[in-house]
Structure 1
Amino acid sequence: MDREIPKKEILMRKRKSLIKVAAVILVAIIAVVCVMQAFMSSVYMRDLAVSDVDKGTIEVSITASGRVTAFDEIINSPVSTRILEVLTQEGDSVNVGTVLMRLDLDKAETDYQNAADQSEMQRLEMSKLKVNNTTQLNSLEMQVKVSEMKVNRLATNVRNERYLDSLGSGTTDKVREAELSYKTALLELEQLRQQLGNERRMKHADEKLKSLECDISDKNLGNMRRTLADAQIRSPRKAVVTYINNNMGAMVNQGEKVAVVSDLSHFKVEASIADAYSEQLGIGGRVIVRIGSDKLEGSIASITPTSKDGTINFTVRLDNPSHKRLRAGLKTDVYVMNSVKDNVLRIKNGSYYIGQGDYELFVFDGDGELRKQKVKLGDSNYDYVEVISGLKPGDRVVVSDMKEYKGKNKLKVKK
């Protein structure tokens, strides 16, 4: 007969079976994990640009594209004339004051001489007017003095007649006659004084008018002198001739371009930005121009008044226009400073950032691996990007280009 197995032994057998099954499952899980680890995408630490999330200040900027250009100076003809001689050619290096071409200035010089003669005539007429005015005013002043003496004498006669009349030696008629003469002389004196005052004001106005005419004549003469000097077509700076009208004998109108010189030692930046940001641009606004790792400061010098193809163009004047990294035609990133945000979460700027919005960035976890995380980013400048949500202070974020790992959620980091 079969012997009944004790319950204790049955329980032990079940435990052993369960332990074996659990061991097999654990080994399988470990194997799966090992296989997953073996097949997990990996990246070398040396290939990553990493930024710590911290709090700080962001001087917000808007980004524009720019191109370095040399300082071109257009030289226009100051007068309507013809070209007599061309002394330089395109590509020539010239110094300050180098004569580029000669213009026919006979008419301009004649006009200047006529203007000089006219100015001298104005000066002589001014001197003559002053002499005549002085003579006439002196004559009136003398008449006033004579009239004052006459009034004083008649006043004395009135007092004498009144005294004689009080003694009985005079008559009332003589007193009245003396008083009438005195009052008449007073009116004549007052009339002369008013005439003298009016004459002074009129003479002063005449002299002021004549002086103004002389000043206008002198200004016109000065303008003609400068025009004549400008007609000597010279280089205003040390530069290279990039254009010159070499048609000798050709007529040129006043204001017509005859030459262009480019200063290849001083540069500026021609930039463009979407017209949606036009209200954030202003003359004198602070600008940072980035060339590689170098940052050059400058300011907005001019802004085009109209939009073209959805963009606004503006010119940046650099604080150091002779920086060693500047080359004509070099493309640059231009950051127009807009506002300041204090005490905000931020990470370093990089090629990953293309504007405000939602991003998926790789963040280091505690196991030395990278995990993809949704992050919302805000404003930026040339150094930092504002973190709105998705990260906390102390997080380490990959800020290099990770496009090739777009489909991965985890990455293994190799030393």
Structure 2
Amino acid sequence: MEITLKKSRFNNKWFGAGVFITLLLFAGVAASTKTTKSIDINTLSFRQVKAGPLDIYTQAFGEFASAKERLLTAPAYGKVSEILVRPGAIVSPDTVILTLANPELEQQVSEAQGQLAQQKAQREAFKYEQQNERLNYQGRIADIKANIEKYDLELSVNQSLLTLGVASKIELQRATLNLKQEKKRLEFEQEKYAQFVEMQGFQLTQRDIIIEQQQKQVSMLEQRLANMHVTAGIQGTLQSLNVALGESINQGHSIAKVGSDKELIARLRLPQHLADQIDIHAPVIIDSQKGKVTAKIIRIESVVSNGAVMAEAEITGPLTSNARPSLAISAQVFVRHEQNASYIAQAPGLRPRSKQQLFVKNEQNILRQQEVMFGELTQQKLLITSGLKTNDQIVSSDMSEYKHYSTLELTQ
């Protein structure tokens, strides 16, 4: 009897444990198979799928940059004797950034100016010497002409006397010969004078060339000396200054960089997967935080860095008041035009280029969870790749607490 009682108690114990486990399994299966739940429709927000033509833009980030930049270099060896402008200051083309001192260059300018003055004085002296020589030639020619008149008169007189029988024939021949000789002398002196004038012209031209060369040398040295007062050259801002007061620098050494502040471009980082779809001259809408600025793509680089490709956009519209170099901006860059695109308005939680499980409302006011694939986000519109059709409505509210339900019933 005692043995039988112990056995019965043991069996009852295992039977109770089995029943308890069975009830737990049943409760778990019941909870896991529950797929519907009621939810008040007034607590939800919806987005409706629309279809139609749509311009596809991609978002890009970047900054404004100077359209014009000028690198300032040392025109000659010198020591930085004065710095007048610091980086960040607004400058005009004539604004002096700094001054370089070079006593040797000043001496070269002085010597070149002295040589030029000496050469000009020598030319003037030579000019007066040649004028005297011309006067001498002209005096000899005048004397010969006077002799010609004299001998012409003698010839005329002798001819008259010979007719009267008073003068001899030899006197007439002598007068004729003298007149002929003087005429030849006149011809010879006039030819010499012409050659002298021509030679004098060449000599003056040669001296003028030497003076012109020296003038160019002086102008070059004077310009180099003037350039020791380094000016900005363009309207804009001083972006960097690479030298310190008292520093000695060689010719061609980089001194500073100036960039335009009103003429700007936009440097944008385009997504790598869309860069090859963007055309040159593609429209761009830039957000500068104080308004919109229109632009167009003018250059796209081929180097990929951190999943992005650098591009430059030319500003085509007026700039906003806060536009300046290095200002961070966002932009919408035109990619293509879709004639019949399906899209919805962007809402929190909806991610571009992703696959998501969303609740879709049907005509029976039932929310059914289904898979949706999204494409690009363009101007707050999210392209739909698959999973939805026109006029479908999706729940845009946070539904994370209902993700275990395949369907939800909507109530008023």
Q: Return the TM-score normalized by structure 2.
A: 0.55
- Specify which of 171, 179, 197 is matched with residue 174 of structure 1: 171
Q: Tell me the distance in 2 between the aligned counterparts of 1:202 and 1:255.
A: 46
Q: Tell me the distance in 2 between the aligned counterparts of 1:151 and 1:269.
A: 87
Asked if the contact 1:287–1:316 (Cα under 8 Å) also holds between the matched residues in 2, the reply is no
- Specify which of 236, 239, 242 is matched with residue 240 of structure 2: 242
1:291 aligns with 2:296: no
Q: Could you tell me which residue of structure 1 aligns to residue 391 of structure 2?
A: 412
User: Kindly tell me: are residues 298 and 400 of structure 1, through their superposed partners in 2, closer, same or farther at Cα, counting changes over 3 Å?
Assistant: closer
- Give 1:81 deviation, angstroms: 2.9
Unaligned runs of 5+ in 1: 1-40, 53-64, 334-349, 364-398
Counterpart of 2:325 in 1: which secondary structure?
coil
Asked if the contact 2:65–2:266 (Cα under 8 Å) also holds between the matched residues in 1, the reply is yes
Counterpart of 1:405 in 2: which secondary structure?
strand
Counterpart of 1:324 in 2: which secondary structure?
coil
Asked if the contact 1:68–1:332 (Cα under 8 Å) also holds between the matched residues in 2, the reply is no
Asked if the contact 2:88–2:239 (Cα under 8 Å) also holds between the matched residues in 1, the reply is yes
- Give 1:405 deviation, angstroms: 2.5
Asked if the contact 2:262–2:324 (Cα under 8 Å) also holds between the matched residues in 1, the reply is no
1:326 aligns with 2:323: yes
Q: Could you tell me which residue of structure 2 aligns to residue 127 of structure 1?
A: 124
Q: Tell me the distance in 2 between the aligned counterparts of 1:158 and 1:312.
A: 103
1:141 aligns with 2:138: yes
Q: Tell me the distance in 2 between the aligned counterparts of 1:191 and 1:325.
A: 86
Asked if the contact 1:77–1:231 (Cα under 8 Å) also holds between the matched residues in 2, the reply is yes
Q: Tell me the distance in 2 between the aligned counterparts of 1:166 and 1:140.
A: 39
Asked if the contact 2:53–2:340 (Cα under 8 Å) also holds between the matched residues in 1, the reply is no
Counterpart of 2:48 in 1: which secondary structure?
strand
Q: Tell me the distance in 1 between the aligned counterparts of 2:285 and 2:238.
A: 27
Q: Could you tell me which residue of structure 1 aligns to residue 225 of structure 2?
A: 228
- Specify which of 246, 264, 268 is matched with residue 264 of structure 2: 268
Q: Deviations over 1:54-99 (max 9, x none)?
A: xxxxxxxxxxx9963124332211112344565665x453655665
Q: Which moved more, 1:165-174 or 1:147-156?
A: 165-174
1:361 aligns with 2:359: no
Structure 1 residue ranges, 4+ long, deviating more than 6 angstroms after superposition: 270-273, 286-289, 297-300, 310-315, 317-320, 399-403
- Give 1:108 deviation, angstroms: 0.9
Q: Could you tell me which residue of structure 1 aligns to residue 115 of structure 2?
A: 118
Q: Could you tell me which residue of structure 2 aligns to residue 69 of structure 1?
A: 65
Counterpart of 1:162 in 2: which secondary structure?
helix
User: Kindly tell me: are residues 137 and 297 of structure 1, through their superposed partners in 2, closer, same or farther at Cα, counting changes over 3 Å?
Assistant: farther
- Give 1:135 deviation, angstroms: 1.0
Q: Tell me the distance in 2 between the aligned counterparts of 1:115 and 1:245.
A: 30
- Give 1:105 deviation, angstroms: 1.4
- Specify which of 251, 254, 257 is matched with residue 254 of structure 1: 251
Q: Which moved more, 1:221-230 or 1:324-333?
A: 324-333
- Specify which of 41, 44, 48 is matched with residue 43 of structure 1: 48
1:162 aligns with 2:159: yes
- Give 1:159 deviation, angstroms: 2.1
Q: Deviations over 1:147-171 (max 9, x none)?
A: 1111121122222222223333333
Asked if the contact 2:105–2:225 (Cα under 8 Å) also holds between the matched residues in 1, the reply is yes
- Give 1:114 deviation, angstroms: 0.7
Counterpart of 2:252 in 1: which secondary structure?
coil
Counterpart of 1:239 in 2: which secondary structure?
strand
Q: Tell me the distance in 1 between the aligned counterparts of 2:317 and 2:149.
A: 80
1:153 aligns with 2:150: yes
Q: Tell me the distance in 2 between the aligned counterparts of 1:99 and 1:166.
A: 96
Q: Return the TM-score normalized by structure 1.
A: 0.55
User: Kindly tell me: are residues 314 and 203 of structure 1, through their superposed partners in 2, closer, same or farther at Cα, counting changes over 3 Å?
Assistant: farther
Q: Tell me the distance in 1 between the aligned counterparts of 2:132 and 2:147.
A: 23
Structure with larger Rg:
2
Q: Which moved more, 1:289-298 or 1:77-86?
A: 289-298
Counterpart of 1:266 in 2: which secondary structure?
coil
- How many percent of aligned residue pairs carry the same amino acid? 12
User: Kindly tell me: are residues 317 and 233 of structure 1, through their superposed partners in 2, closer, same or farther at Cα, counting changes over 3 Å?
Assistant: farther
User: Kindly tell me: are residues 362 and 270 of structure 1, through their superposed partners in 2, closer, same or farther at Cα, counting changes over 3 Å?
Assistant: closer
- Give 1:140 deviation, angstroms: 1.0
Unaligned runs of 5+ in 2: 1-45, 56-60, 271-275, 343-377, 394-412
Counterpart amino acid of 1:177? R
Q: Deviations over 1:90-145 (max 9, x none)?
A: x4536556654443311111111111111111121121111111111111112111
Counterpart amino acid of 1:291? I
Counterpart of 1:259 in 2: which secondary structure?
strand
User: Kindly tell me: are residues 299 and 76 of structure 1, through their superposed partners in 2, closer, same or farther at Cα, counting changes over 3 Å?
Assistant: farther
- Specify which of 211, 215, 218 is matched with residue 215 of structure 2: 218
Q: Deviations over 1:306-326 (max 9, x none)?
A: x97599998969796x65363
User: Kindly tell me: are residues 93 and 362 of structure 1, through their superposed partners in 2, closer, same or farther at Cα, counting changes over 3 Å?
Assistant: closer
Counterpart of 1:328 in 2: which secondary structure?
coil
Counterpart amino acid of 1:405? I
Q: Tell me the distance in 2 between the aligned counterparts of 1:295 and 1:100.
A: 32
1:183 aligns with 2:211: no
Asked if the contact 1:68–1:267 (Cα under 8 Å) also holds between the matched residues in 2, the reply is no
- Specify which of 190, 195, 213 is matched with residue 193 of structure 1: 190
Q: Tell me the distance in 1 between the aligned counterparts of 2:167 and 2:80.
A: 98
- Give 1:298 deviation, angstroms: 10
Counterpart of 2:321 in 1: which secondary structure?
coil
Counterpart amino acid of 1:81? G
Asked if the contact 2:69–2:257 (Cα under 8 Å) also holds between the matched residues in 1, the reply is yes
Asked if the contact 1:289–1:332 (Cα under 8 Å) also holds between the matched residues in 2, the reply is no
